[in-house]
Each structure stands twice: as structure tokens, then as C-alpha cells.
Chains A and B, each alone.
Chain A
Amino acid sequence: MARNTYYQDETVRPEINIKQIAKMMKYVYPFRKVMTFVVISMLASVVISLLPPLVIKAVTEKVIPNADYSLMAKLVTALVGIGIADIGVNFIAQYFAGSTGQKIIFNIREDVYSNLMKLPFDFFDSRPAGKIVVRTTNYVDQMATFFSNTLVNFIVCIMRIVVVLVFMLFLNPILTLVVLASLVPLLASLEVIRHFSRKRMRRLTAKISNRSAFLVESIMGAKEIKSFNRKDYNAGIYEDLQNDVCREYIGYVKVSELMTIAFETLWNVGSMCLYAVAIYLINERPDLVTAGTLIAFLSYMSMVFEPFNTLSMVLQQLAEVSSKMELVLEIRDTPSDITEKENAVELKNPQGVIDFEDVTFGYEPDTNVLEHFSLHVKEGSSIALVGPTGSGKTTVINMLTRFYDVKEGSVKIDGTDVRDMTLHSLRSEVGVVMQDPFMFKGKIIENIRYGKIGATDEECIAAAKKIHADKFIEKLPEGYYTEIGERGDGLSAGEKQLISFARIILKDPKIFIFDEATSAVDSETEAIIQKSLDKIIEGRTSFMVAHRLSTIRKADKILYIFNKGIAEQGTHEELIEKKGLYHELVNL
């Protein structure tokens, strides 16, 4: 139950998780040819980038002293060629790496989403919907960078380091050593600063997310804040949260900006050393070093520094992405708790005889909601479930639709265990109307059509008429074609319930379940719905959970659910006669 609030920092320390990354590599495999091609062209780009300094070297050593115009022309032509090759190779790498990355992400999203639909309800109930959604969309998006950029970069950096170093050693080992020696303190100090600035960054991020969390709640709870006169008090909290952000931000800037100092200073120290050694050698041992070589090496110094530096950032990205991967993969890999048997049978035109045989169930492993619950329901009869909040009425229903599986015992329809049926056929024949029916953003008619995909407009309208939902729908500006917002924004709770009735009528199942389905409509409307429903459910088995007496009174059998089982059962008259719990409930 314990969750996060705006005053608790939430920090995760990202670490590179090789196992997660390895799992992800499976998605790269189908694209191995393109990826190899990309890597090869990147390699080519590395080699190409080594050439221009050589051209400049030739210009300084051969062209200018000898005033050799024809060589100059050749060198410029070479530069043009190098330029074209560089542009081409970069295009190939960028285009193919980018588009392949997107294709990989497409596949991951498909995988993640298809398992999302199979996750146990507990997964949805135990965390905010928003946090699940970001995993399937934003986090996956962030991984796109990993596939189109980070991964390739990682390989290329290593190649670059090797290629450039070998080339430099080949050109001049002494100057290479000078370059390497000057890079060591530079890279080391950058890494140290980065380490501290990351730490600060994590603290900053935590403070920013506290501030956002508080702001989101302030917006959603604006009505409460106003009516409870909390505006000034909250403004004070908000200001504190802002000051936290500022303090951490300045702290972060103070550390991360040190990079400029370290980088520029040490870089210049390095190049001055390179000059010093080169000047010394040019004077003492001109056979070892020339001015042109020095100039070329000044360029190579940045060529070898860059990949080292990038590598450190790539590793950081890798760490960040692998912590996201874990969350994404959790959705992909969490097994479903409700699975179909291999030889599952189709439930077709059931009679509607339902048996709960010695059912025991609990949402948590050690506490049961139902124990040894048995019930036989004749075909076509209506059952009402009553009892105090939390007594397990909805749980009984959840067993029948197989939203959850029983711990012990069995639930049977027409003598067949629900666990032996295909889920699709079971849920097609058992229709549930919920207390808080979900509405999709879109037209009203589409929301009705949800009951039977492919139904015509006429069928949808007819279904709405049957339940007398047409009265309010026709009053809307565009009738059935009125757009409603997310989660049915623009409709009252009662109107949503009416639409959900139209849905179930369109679906036309053999077994009906009404779970507090009319709780939000007023008594008059409810009476109208009841009358229409009586006709519709005639001859079909139905279950209803309700608080209102008018709804349950006419049921063939009323069950009073209490203390993990059925406390009383019978018709309304019988139970009133008995003067037990039900009688007490009714006579309040």
C-alpha cells in the first residue's frame, strides 16, 4: 500500500544490467545484416576522417615550400573526394541506423502491448495507470535511441579508438605517447566530475519530480484546495518545493560546469606539451618529426579524445536505458495468471446452469474472501447478491467470468469447468455490466458498438432504445454521433451506465451479470431500466449485485453474502419472514 508522495524523494541508481541488454539483443538479431552494414560504413567514416589532416600535412610540407600548384590541385581534388565519401557514408549510417532502430522499437511495442492485455488484474490494481502507460509508450521510445544510436556508437567508439591509435602509432610513436599521456589526466578528471554531477543530477531529478507531483495534484484537486481554504498553505509548500529544486539545480550546475574548466585547461596543457615535444624534436632530431606531422597530430588528438569521451557517455546512457528496459520487460515477461488450456472447449449456446462447487478464493495468498462456497443456479433464474461492502459479492462474479481463478473447488457452466473453456467463448456468453463502466473517447454510437464489433448503426440505436437510453442521447447536440471525451467526459455517471446497458444488449450474452450497474441512476430511471431488463433477461441466467431493494426484490433467489460464504438465501419474502440479516438490512 505504501506509495510515494510529493515530500518523499524517489531515486534510482541506474546500473548497466547485462542480462536485460542481452534480452533486448534478440530484437536486433533480425536486422543483423543492416546493422553490420551500418557498422561497416561507420568504420569507413572513421578511416575517411583520418585523411584530411594528411592532406594539410602535404600542403604544409610539399605544396607551400615548392609552390607546387599541380600538387595543390590534386590535393584539393582529393579533399573533394574525401568530402563526398564522408557525406555519403554518414548518410548511410544515419539513415539505416535510425530507421532500423524504429523498426526494432515497433516490434518491442507490439510484444509489450500484446502481453499487457494478458497481465493479471493485480498488476493493474497495484500501480497507477499512468505508470503502466509510460512503460508501453515513453520508455519504449527512449529505448529507440539505444538501438539507433547508443548501440552503434558503442561499437564505433571502440573501433575509432583502435583505428586512430594504430594509425597514429604508425605515423609517429613518440607524439602518440605524448597525446596519450596528456589524455589520461583529462579523461580521468572529466570522469570524476561526471560522477559527482550525475549524483547531483539524480537528486535534482528527484526534487523536480516532487515538484511536478505536487503540481499535478494541486491542479486535479483545485476544487478541494479552494473549498478547504488551503490555497495559501499549499502555495507555501509549492514555494518550498521550488526552493529545493533551485538549490539542487545550482548545486548541480556548480559541479557540472567544472567540466569546462577541466576540459579546456587540460586540453590546452596537452596540446602545449605536444608542441613542446615536437619543437624540441624538430630542432634536435628533424628526422623524427616534421612541422606537418605536428599539425596533423593536433587534429588526431581530438579524434582520439572524442571516442573516449563519447564512450563514457554511452556507458551512462546504457545504464539509464537498462533501468527502463527492466520496467518494459517486466510488462513483456510477467506471465498471465489466467491461461487457456491447450484442449480448451468452446462454450456455445449454454443453457445457463451454473455451479459453484466448494469454491475457496482470496486475492492474497493467506487471506480468503470466500471459503467452501457452493451454489447451484438453475437455467434462466435470477440471483441477487447482497451483503455489506467487502463481503465478497463481486468476488463471486469474478470467479464466473474467470477474471480470477479459484484457489480450490470449481465453477461450472452447464457442467463444464470454466477453466476448460476458451476465454473468448466464455466471455462472449457471460456479459458483465459494471458499476463504473469504461467509455472510450469517440462517438457515443461507437461506445455502444463496443458490445458487438461490426454491428450496424441501426442495431446500436435499437439496443439503446430497448433500454430507453435514446431519450438522453437524442437530446445531445449530435445525438448518437456526439463525441465524448476521455473516460466518458461529458456524460454523467448515470448516462454512462445507460450506455453500458445498451452495450450489453447488443452483445446479447446468455448469462448476465449486473455489478451495481444502476447505482448512479435515480429511482425513476432505474424503474424504467428494470422494466426493460425484465424482458431482456427472461429465460436467461442473471446475477446482480445491488444495494437498492427495488433492484433485488424480484430476484428468484437472494443470497446474503457474509463471512466468506452465504449467510442466508431465499426469495425476498422468505428472507423477510426469517427476520435475519436480510430483514435487518431491508428494515433500516
Chain B
Amino acid sequence: MNLFKWGYRYYKKRIPVAVICQIMGEIAILIGLILPLIAQIIVDGVVNYKPGEEVPVNRFLTFLTGGKFGELGSFRLFLSLAVIVLGLVIVRTLLVYFRNVWFRKNFLPIENAIRNAEYGKLFKLSNKALSGYNTGDLLTTLDSDAVQLKDLYTLYLMLIIDSVFMLVIIGVFLFSIKAELLIIIAALVPFLLFFLGKYVKISRKVSNDIRDRNAEMNLVAQESVNGIRLIKAYANEEREAKRFRDCNVNTEKALVKQVTVQAKYNVVFNTLRQIAYVASVAACGYFAIKGDIKIGQLLACTSYVVSFMNIVTNLNNYLYTTQQLAVSGERVVKFMAAEEIPDTHRVERIDNFDIAIKNLSVEIDGAYVLKNVNLNIPYGTKLGVMGSTGSGKSVLLKTLGAIITPTSGEVTIGGRNIEEYDKEEIRRQFSFVFQDVFLFSDTIDANIAFAVPDAPFEDVKNAAKISKAHGFIKTMPGGYETIIGERGLGLSGGQRQRISVARALVKNSPILVLDDATSALDRSTEKSLLETIKEKYPDKTMIISAHKVSSVKDCDVIIYMHEGEIAETGTYGELVAKGGMFAEVDRIQSEREVG
């Protein structure tokens, strides 16, 4: 979708405000440019006034020297002009002030609207679309890109119009004072534009280079910090130091290159500016000697010529920035157009929690991860899922929660295909606990009550007791009010897992899925945790995937997955008696036969 078309919907409502702001700005600019003309009258008509001489005045300002405000050369004229100058200045600054405040007040909501749209979209992205982004990309798109997109529509559009307006007005003024002076501008601006173009190109290359070098250095620093134990254990500090030094050298080179480029081009731009200045002084001096213009006009003209050059430079920068902002904007548009999880919204309530898996197959990247799986899980079943890494356990669990869509076959719940239900309803009825726990930097209490933010503290405490987290939470400095760091920093793997189980329990869904969720616990804690859950929630369906036989031993049914298929099904006793793969794993893990 076209960037401007996309952004227009946010901008549309604000167009009247934008127009008013623009007009306020243009009036302010006009006043700003008239002020030097009045100063010129002060210089030529008062300070340097020689009786009998004619005082040149801009044709729009002749009323000032008509005598109403004081005779030429008189102090009264100066006073009147000074009052007019100050009055205009106050009007101008108030215009600028209110425009800037009002403008931001009205345009910040655009950024917020974009932010809200993107934030909502974040949770609607399909897995495929989501896998195309890493955390850093997403953060840029949702944060700084939203700011830049807003700036593109508002701030830069305004600045560009302002600049063009100023150039026109200066051109008109110069023309009205001495048209020949426009030749200086006409001669220099092409050179200025040429070098600006070159400079933008080369500085873009240099700054990209710096960004890459910085990223490399950041990565090394990050790896050194995160991998500090490994580095020390392998006594490889020297290697890391060398890696860092290489990056440091490269970064320094790139930065010095930038300094050099900037310094060099500044020579070029300063030269052009100096030429403009000297040329206008020389030309004005010549015209002044000839009597065409007065000293005040000389001052006004030189300052106009120099500002003209400066505004052209700024305009060029704005246009360059606009291009970059457009790139950010495109990212936002692309993000907003990314594929979403299809949501059919047909059935809003699940009334019956019997699950059936029929001929289920899942293909990922051309390979079958699940092949023709059939299984019934009536409500209240405690199901154990075992199998080696890559056997398809996790994928099977994810298809149950409709997190992964099957390639063929179906998962039904209460007799209906799971895809027919509202996604939110599925999420309400399933509680997933994943192996890699993500905790938020907040209090332990808030983390456990994540699903039900206003859950009574009793519920939180009960859940923590069942998940065996209460014990260690109690000993923490702030108890349940202790704030944990990002990703649960400061807690051990086992502690994190216990909090995440408690979090799922507070949600109190009829179906609880533990996907290798207790792997970091020691055997006794794990066993008593699982036992307590079964005891406290006898009605709920529980699906436990694990590596340890002890975790699934007491389940009603255990399935053993192998290469995407259910290889063995039965109770613990049945599977051991069968003497198959599960029995072998049990033998390896259990000491009984050896002992």
C-alpha cells in the first residue's frame, strides 16, 4: 500500500489545523524578513541620514517615512520605528510559540494512533509473519518508526513549506532592492546543490559503515558479557580482547573517516558561503558608490544573500531526512499489512472440553513433524507425553492450542474443529506453560496474577503454594512484592518455572498444558508439584510433556512419540510391560533394575 495513502487516514482530520499552523508560521516568517528592512530604514533614514538625500524605502514600507511617524533623521522617527519593530517581534514570537505548542498538541495523537494500531497488530500477527522479525526489528518498527512516520507527515512537511516560502520572500525582497543581486544566488546555488548532493551520498555511506561497525562492536561486547563464564572457563580472555580490539580499530577508522569527510565538505560549503558574502558586499559596495543603494540596504542585502544560501542547505537536509523517514514509514506500512492469524469468530463458547485428534499431520519446511496422529483426550484426562527431542511433542501440544495450524487432519474440541472457535476463547480455556519462561519486570505478585490482574492475593498465594513457589518467595526481601528483573533476572531456572506454573494456575482454565515446564526442578520438587496439581484440580485435563519418566508416571494415559508418530500408548504399567521404547527409557532412568 502506498505510504501516503496509508498515512492520510491519520492525517486527514488534522488538515485544517495543519493549514492554520502553516499560515501562522508564514506570517511569522514574513515579519522576520521585514524586520531587516525596518532596520535598514533606521540606518539610512536616521543614523546615516544626510538632509536633502533621498532615503530608499521598500515600496510596501513607504508609509513609515511619510512623516506621520516622525521626520527623516529625527529621533522621533527612530522611536516610532523601534516601537514598531518590538511590536512586530512580539507578534512574531507569539505566533511562533503558539504554533509550535498547538501543532504538537494536535499532531502527537497521530503518533499515538499509529502506536496503538501497531501494538494491537503485534498480537494478531501469524507465526509466519512474526518469524520474519526479531526483537530489535519489532522494537524499531513499533517505537522509533512510529515517531518518524509522524514527523514525516507533520514536522518535515511543515519545515519544507516554510523553507520554500522563505526562499520566495527573500527572492522578492532582493529583487525589489536590487535585482542584479539575484545573479549571485543564481550563480552559486547550482554549485551548492551539486556539492550537497555529493555530500549526502558520501555521508550516508559513511554513517551506514559506522552503524555496521558499531553493531559488530556491540555484538562482541554483548557476547563478552553474556558469555563471561564460558570465556573465563576456557581462559580465552585474550581471544576476546583481540576480537574487541579489531572492532574498536574498525570503528575508530570509520569515525575518523566521518570526521574527515565532514571537515572536507565544510571547506566546500564555507567557501561557497564566503563567496556569496564577499560577492554581495562587493556588489552592494559598487552599487552604493554608484548611489543605487544605501548602506542600510547593503546590510540587508548581504544578510539576505547569506540566509538564502543557508536555507537552501537546510532544505536539502530536510529533503534528505524525508527520504529516510519514508523508509521508516514503509516499514510501518509493511508491518501493518503483514499476515494475521485468521480469526473466524464463529463459535464464541466452548461447552464441552473433550479433545479429539483425527489424522493430524503437520508439515514444516517440507518435512513432516507430525504424521497421522489420532488420539482422544476426554475432559479430566491426565495425559503424559514422552519422546526424544524432535519427536514432535511440542508441535503436537501447540496444535492443541491452535498455535500451529495442521497441514491435514483436525483437532476437535467438544466435537467441533478447533479452528471454528474464537481464538480468544481457546486461549481462555487452555493454560500453556512453556519450557522457556518469560517473566515481566514487575512484582512476583503481578507476574503470578498476570492473567487476572485483579485476582485476590489469596488466589495468588494458593497458586504459588501449589506450584511450590511460596517457600522461596517468602524468603525473598520483599516477599510477593519483590520486583524481578527482565526475563526473571535474579531467579534460578527452577524458580522461574515454578512462578510460571503458578501464573498458569491463577488463570484457572479447564485444560492445563505443561510443555517441559518443570525440567529445571529437582525430582522431588517436580513430583510433589505435579501431584498437588492433580490433587487440587481432579476435574481438569492436564497434559504433561517431559523427559523424566517420574513426571508422567502417574498419568492416566502416556503416549510415547517417535519421529512424529505416536509409537506407544498406555498406562505406565502397560507400557513397561510392553517392553518397547518407553520401557527402555524407563530402564535407563530408573535404578531399580540395576540396584
Contact = CB atoms under 8 A, between A and B. Distances in A.
A129 B96 contact: no
Contacts of B431: 227
Interface in B518-544: 519-525, 527
A441 B221 CA distance: 12
11 contacts: A59-B295, A102-B256, A117-B228, A117-B231, A121-B228, A213-B441, A242-B116, A249-B104, A260-B96, A438-B229, A523-B589
A401 B235 contact: no
A220 B135 contact: yes
Contact of B438 (A144, A220, A453, A553): A220
Contact of B427 (A2, A221, A229): A229
Contact of A99 (B259, B281, B503): B259
B271 A87 contact: yes
Interface in B189-236: 214, 217-219, 221-236
A549 B594 CA distance: 11
Contact of B441 (A4, A226, A549): A4
A275 B78 contact: yes
B432 A227 contact: yes
Given A95-B259, A389-B494, A217 B440 contact: yes
A64 interface: yes
A456 interface: no
A217 B47 contact: no
Contacts of B298: 56, 59-60
Contacts of A264: 89, 92-93
A253 B103 CA distance: 11
A137 B389 contact: no
B188 interface: no
Interface residues of A, number: 153
A578 interface: no
Interface string B101-139: 100110011001001100110110000001000010011
A523 B585 contact: yes
Report which residue of B100, B278, B451 has the largest number of chain A beta carbons within 10 angstroms of its beta carbon: B278
B122 A218 contact: yes
Interface stretch (A28-36, A303-311, A314-322, A424-432): A424-432
A221 B480 CA distance: 21
B260 A121 contact: no
Contact of B591 (A102, A231, A388, A572): A572
A230 B438 CA distance: 14
B319 interface: no
Interface stretch (A105-113, A371-379, A460-468): A105-113
B86 interface: yes
A381 interface: no
A398 to B, nearest CB: 10
Interface stretch (B151-159, B173-181, B485-493): B485-493
Report which residue of B231, B232, B251, B478 has the largest number of chain A beta carbons within 10 angstroms of its beta carbon: B232
A295 B222 contact: no
A403 B235 CA distance: 11
Interface stretch (B62-70, B162-170, B238-246, B320-328): B238-246
Contacts of B390: 492
Nearest to B133: A219
Given A401-B232, A427-B235, A438-B230, 8 more contacts: A1-B476, A116-B221, A136-B221, A215-B119, A226-B123, A235-B119, A261-B94, A438-B227
A216 B109 CA distance: 21
Contact of A239 (B116, B135, B222): B116
A369 interface: no
Interface stretch (A11-19, A72-80, A158-166, A181-189): A72-80
A446 to B, nearest CB: 11
Interface in A512-539: 519-527
A434 B523 contact: no
B490 A133 contact: no
A424 B228 contact: no
Contacts of B275: 83
Contact of A275 (B47, B259, B591): B47
A5 interface: yes
B450 interface: yes
B591 A253 contact: no
Contacts of A260: 93, 96-97, 100
B259 A102 contact: yes
A6 B524 CA distance: 37
Contact of B389 (A94, A125, A221, A521): A521
Contact of A59 (B218, B281, B388, B588): B281
Contacts of A523: 388, 547, 585, 588-589
B108 A98 contact: no
Interface in A240-278: 242-243, 246, 249-250, 253-254, 257-258, 260-261, 264-265, 268-269, 272, 275-276, 278
Interface string B348-365: 000000000000000000
A220 B487 contact: yes
A453 B239 CA distance: 8
A206 to B, nearest CB: 16
A170 interface: no
A261 B97 contact: yes
Minimum-distance CB pairs A-B, first 4: A98-B259, A83-B274, A438-B227, A427-B235
B54 interface: no
B483 A3 contact: yes
A280 B594 CA distance: 114
A229 B492 CA distance: 27
Nearest to B235: A427
**Secondary structure at chain B's binding surface: helix, strand, loop or mixed?**
helix
B373 interface: no
A106 to B, nearest CB: 4
A214 B223 CA distance: 25
Interface string B399-429: 0010100000000000000000000100110
A91 B122 contact: no
B225 A133 contact: yes
A272 B84 CA distance: 11
B101 A250 contact: yes
Contacts of B451: 228-230
Contact of A547 (B139, B143, B523): B523
Given A110-B248, A275-B82, A124 B135 contact: no
B263 interface: yes
A253 B105 CA distance: 10
Interface stretch (B283-291, B376-384, B458-466, B567-575): B283-291
A232 to B, nearest CB: 9
B217 A137 contact: yes
A133 B226 CA distance: 10
A143 B228 CA distance: 26
A226 B524 contact: no
Contacts of B271: 83, 87
B223 A257 contact: no
B97 A258 contact: yes
Contacts of B96: 257, 260-261
Interface in A162-195: none
A295 B93 contact: no
A244 to B, nearest CB: 11
B108 A60 contact: no
A423 interface: yes
Contact of A588 (B387, B401, B440, B550): B550
A191 B267 CA distance: 34
B123 A113 contact: no
A487 interface: yes
A249 B235 contact: no
Interface in A363-398: 388-390
B248 A94 contact: no
A549 B591 contact: yes
A291 B49 CA distance: 10
Contact of A102 (B252, B521, B550): B252
B312 interface: no
A134 to B, nearest CB: 9
